[in-house]
A and B are shown apart, each in its own frame.
Chain A
């Protein structure tokens, strides 16, 4: 029940296109849903996060869409750029715990 399922495992998008990564969860006690971006050899860095009381959050080219009834959330990267090529992890936190539960990651490659 603590799992966060992420898809796809890898994604190739043309420059300027929209990258979409999906996550699903089971634990209804999760109350915070961040997305992390990780470049090779670096630690995960917070990209954008959402709480379950809103259905969408946008920061620049990055948007989280949240569907509480379906227990799904997704990351949309508009106008994808080669610099966006990285591994993206969704995560979730149960306020009863301190830890983040991470998805399995999506390796995103933006091609010219």
Chain B
């Protein structure tokens, strides 16, 4: 079964450092997302990406965050200067289209745990 793969599985960084989280979405999917989950809390939407541009972003996704699809397969989330409160599990997700019918489901990766010290 196709899956969304994320790297690294866990990253520890110092406050103020830049972090890049990587995702390889399912190959025929066109819509890509980043969500985050602070430990013990709900999953929160960060940003959606379609046709090489951001289509929607939440208030969490401020100027410190950016996304990119540099090579047609990877989808990255960059945090420019990490803060303590950025510590969370970051999930990448992808979907073929927005119809949400049948086998067209939003598929999540296993997540990248970011710890900011």
A89 within 8 A of B: yes
Q: Mark the stretch among B11-19, B67-75, B105-113 that contacts chain A.
A: B105-113
Q: A32-B100, A49-B100 are in contact. Are A43 and B42 (CB under 8 A)?
A: no
Interface residues on B, range: 20 to 34
Contacts A32-B100, A46-B105 hold; do A100 and B110 have CB atoms under 8 A apart?
Answer: no
Instruction: Say whether A102 contacts B43, CB under 8 Å.
Output: yes
CA distance A34 to B105 in the complex (A): 10
Interface residues on A, range: 20 to 34
Q: Which residues in B have their C-beta under 8 angstroms from that of A32?
A: 100
**A98-B55 contact, Cβ under 8 Å, with A49-B100, A89-B42:** yes
- With a cutoff of 8 Å between Cβ atoms, the chain B residues found around residue A100 in the complex are 35, 43, 45, 106
Q: Is the CB of A44 within 8 A of B100?
A: no
Min CB distance, B115 to chain A, in Å?
A: 14
Q: Within the assembled complex, what's the spacing in Å between the Cα atoms of A105 and B91?
A: 16
Min CB distance B38 to A, Å, is 12
For residue B50, which residues in chain A have a CB less than 8 angstroms away from its CB? Answer: 98
